[in-house]
C-alpha cells in the first residue's frame, strides 16, 4: 500500500499544506519545530484514527483555531481511498470515501503504517504499559479477532474492579465477586492464548531480523505472557482476592504482562545506551512491518522520524542496507517517508541511492 497525498489545515503548526509522496522514498527535512513529526502524526491519525503522540485531541488543533482538517489519498492494489478527518476539541469525524465511520475499528485494516519516532522510544525505555500497547496495537491491526478479545477482557476487568471496590466499601458482599471472577478468567484465557501465539510469531521474526542486521548482535526478549487455562487463572485470582479487595484493583492477568529486552545478556532498560535503545526500537519496528506483511499480505508504509539522529554512520549504513531488502510483489521497494533536520545525514547514509524514485520536501518554520 502507499499514501499518495496529504492535505492539512490548522493541524499542529501547519496552517494549510499539501504534500505529494513518492511511492519509493520521501525525505521531509527542515529545522526543529518546522512540523515534520506532525506530518507523520497526521498520516497515523488517518490510518488508525488517533495520534501516536497524544490522546488529547485539543493539542492537535492549531492554536486559536477550532477545527483541524486532514485528508489523504491511499492506494492499495490500484484501488484509491480517500480518508478525511475533522478534528474538534472533544470529538472527531473520520470519513472513508465520504462515508462517516462510527467506530475506529472500521478503519483498522484499511491501510497500515509503522512509525519509528523518538516519541515511541518509551517502548524500550518506559513502563510495561508502553510495551503492552505496542504489541496490542500490532496484533489488533493484523487480526480483528485479537482486538475483540482485548476489548472483551478490558470490559470484564473494569467490571471486576468495580465489584472489588464495592466490596471494599461494604456496598456489596464478598460472594458477589464470583461471577466476575468467572467472566474475567474466561476472557483472560482467551486473550493470553492469542497473545502467546502472536508473540511466538513476533519473537521468531524479531530474532531473524536481529540476525539479518548483524549476526554478532545479541538481543533477546522474554515475556510474562503464559498459556493458562480458566481454572488456573481462577485459582490465581482467588489467591490474591483479599489484596485485590483492599486495593480495589485486579493484580493478576494479561493487563500485567511485560516484555524484557536483553542486550548482550543485560537488561536494555537498565543498562542500554541511547544508540542501543534506538537500534533495538528500529529492529522492533522492522519486525512490526514484517509481522503486518505476513498477516495482512501487504507491506505497511514506513514512517521514519529522525531515524539517523544519535546513530553512528556504520549503523546508519547497515540500517539502509537492511531497509533496501524489503520488496513488494512487483519487486518495488516499500514506501518510506523519512524526516530529518540534516539532509546530509540522509545523503551520507546512502538511502537515497538505493531508491530509484525519491522525493525531497523542504519544510520552513
Ligand atoms: N496545537 C498546536 N498549535 C500550534 N503549534 C503547535 C501545536 N502543537 C505543536 N505545535 C508546534 O508545532 C511545531 C512542530 O512540531 P513538530 O514536532 O512537528 O516539529 P519537528 O519538525 O518534528 O521538530 P524536531 O526536528 O524538533 O523534531 C513545534 O514548534 C510545536 O511547538
Ligand atoms: Mg520531530
Going along the chain from its start, the domains and CATH numbers come out as 2-112+298-362 (3.40.50.300), 121-297 (1.20.1050.90)
Å from CA of 326 to ligand 2 middle: 25
Q: Each residue of 271-306: pLDDT tens digit? A: 999 999 999 999 999 999 999 999 998 899 999 999
Q: What are phi and psi of 154, to 5 degrees?
A: -60, -35
Give the number of the atom of ligand 1 that is nearest the alpha carbon of residue 339.
22
Å from CA of 338 to ligand 1 middle: 16
Å from CA of 14 to ligand 1 middle: 9
pLDDT the model gives residue 30:
96
Å from CA of 7 to ligand 2 middle: 19
C-alpha cell at 237: 485470582
Nearest CA to ligand 1 atom 27: 32
Which residues fall within 8 angstroms of residue 86, CB to CB, at 6 or more apart? 67, 68, 69, 92, 93, 94
Are the C-beta atoms of 229 and 191 separated by less than 8 Å? no
Nearest CA to ligand 1 atom 16: 35
Whether residue 68 is predicted with pLDDT greater than 90 in this model: the reply is yes
**Measured between alpha carbons, how far is 61 from 43 in angstroms, rounded to an integer?**
15
**Measured between alpha carbons, how far is 123 from 210 in angstroms, rounded to an integer?**
17
Helix (H) or strand (E) holding 75: strand 68-76
Are the C-beta atoms of 121 and 278 separated by less than 8 Å? yes
Ligand lying closest to the C-alpha of residue 14: 1
Q: Which residues' Cβ are closer than 6 Å to ligand 1?
A: 12-13, 30, 32-38, 59, 61-63, 306, 341
pTM for the predicted model, two decimal places: 0.93
pLDDT the model gives residue 363:
96
Residue 224 sits at the vertex; the CA angle it makes with 163 and 178, to the nearest 5 degrees, is 20
C-alpha cell at 24: 519509493
pLDDT the model gives residue 29:
96
Give the number of the atom of ligand 1 that is nearest the alpha carbon of residue 61.
1
Q: How confident is the model at residue 329 (pLDDT cuts 50, 70, 90)?
A: low
Q: Which mutation among 17, 37, 87 tests ligand 1's pocket best, with the greatest number of atoms within 8 A of CB? A: 37
pLDDT the model gives residue 327:
78
Up-side HSE of residue 317: CA atoms within 13 Å toward CB? Answer: 4
Nearest CA to ligand 1 atom 3: 62
Mean pLDDT of the residues in the chain: 94
- Reported in sequence order, the residue ranges of the chain that DSSP labels E, i.e. its strands, are 2-11, 14-20, 25-29, 68-76, 79-87, 92-96, 99-100, 113-116, 219-223, 259-263, 266-267, 301-305, 336-340, 358-362
Whether residue 333 is predicted with pLDDT greater than 80 in this model: the reply is no
Which residues fall within 8 angstroms of residue 93, CB to CB, at 6 or more apart? 85, 86, 100
Give the number of the atom of ligand 1 that is nearest the alpha carbon of residue 35.
18
Å from CA of 41 to ligand 2 middle: 10
Are the C-beta atoms of 326 and 332 separated by less than 8 Å? no
Ligand lying closest to the C-alpha of residue 32: 1
Å from CA of 306 to ligand 2 middle: 7
Amino acid at each position: 500500500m502507499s499514501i499518495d497525498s496529504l492535505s492539512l489545515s490548522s493541524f499542529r503548526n501547519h496552517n494549510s499544506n499539501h504534500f505529494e509522496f513518492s511511492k519509493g522514498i520521501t525525505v521531509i527535512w527542515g529545522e526543529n519545530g518546522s512540523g515534520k513529526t506532525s506530518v507523520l502524526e497526521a498520516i497515523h491519525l488517518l490510518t488508525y484514527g488517533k495520534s501516536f503522540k497524544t490522546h488529547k485531541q485539543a493539542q492537535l488543533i492549531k492554536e486559536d483555531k477550532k477545527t483541524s482538517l486532514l485528508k489523504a489519498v491511499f492506494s492499495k492494489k490500484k484501488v484509491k481511498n480517500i480518508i478525511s478527518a475533522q478534528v474538534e476539541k472533544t470529538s472527531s469525524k473520520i470519513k472513508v470515501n465520504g462515508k462517516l465511520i462510527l467506530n475506529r475499528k472500521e478503519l483498522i485494516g484499511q491501510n497500515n503504517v509503522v512509525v519509528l519516532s523518538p516519541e515511541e522510544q518509551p517502548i524500550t525505555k518506559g513502563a510495561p504499559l508502553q510495551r503492552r500497547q505496542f504489541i496490542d496495537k500490532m496484533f489488533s491491526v493484523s487480526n480483528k479477532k485479537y482486538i475483540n478479545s482485548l476489548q472483551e477482557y478490558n470490559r470484564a476487568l473494569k467490571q471486576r474492579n468495580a465489584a472489588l471496590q464495592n466490596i471494599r466499601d461494604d456496598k456489596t458482599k464478598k460472594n458477589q465477586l464470583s461471577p466476575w471472577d468467572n467472566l474475567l478468567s474466561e476472557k483472560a484465557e482467551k486473550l493470553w492464548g492469542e497473545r502467546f501465539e502472536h508473540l511466538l510469531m513476533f519473537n521468531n521474526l524479531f530474532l531473524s531480523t536481529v540476525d539479518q542486521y548483524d549476526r554478532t548482535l545479541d538481543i533477546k526478549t522474554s515475556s510474562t505472557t503464559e498459556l493458562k487455562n480458566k481454572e488456573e487463572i481462577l485459582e490465581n485470582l482467588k489467591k490474591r482476592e483479599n489484596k485485590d479487595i483492599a486495593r480495589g484493583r485486579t493484580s493478576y492477568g494479561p493487563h500485567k504482562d511485560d516484555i524484557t529486552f536483553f542486550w548482550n545478556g543485560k537488561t536494555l532498560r537498565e543498562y542500554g545506551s541511547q544508540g542501543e535503545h534506538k537500534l533495538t526500537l528500529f529492529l522492533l519496528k522492522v519486525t512490526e512491518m514484517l509481522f503486518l506483511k505476513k498477516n495482512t499480505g501487504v507491506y505497511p508504509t514506513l514512517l521514519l522520524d529522525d531515524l539517523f539522529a544519535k546513530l553512528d554512520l556504520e549503523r546508519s549504513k547497515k540500517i539502509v542496507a537492511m531497509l533496501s531488502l524489503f520488496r513488494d510483489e512487483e519487486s518495488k521497494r516499500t514506501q518510506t517517508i523519512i524526516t530529518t533536520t540534516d539532509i546530509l545525514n540522509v545523503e551520507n547514509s546512502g538511502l537515497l541511492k538505493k531508491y530509484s524514485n525519491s522525493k525531497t520536501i523542504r519544510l520552513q518554520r
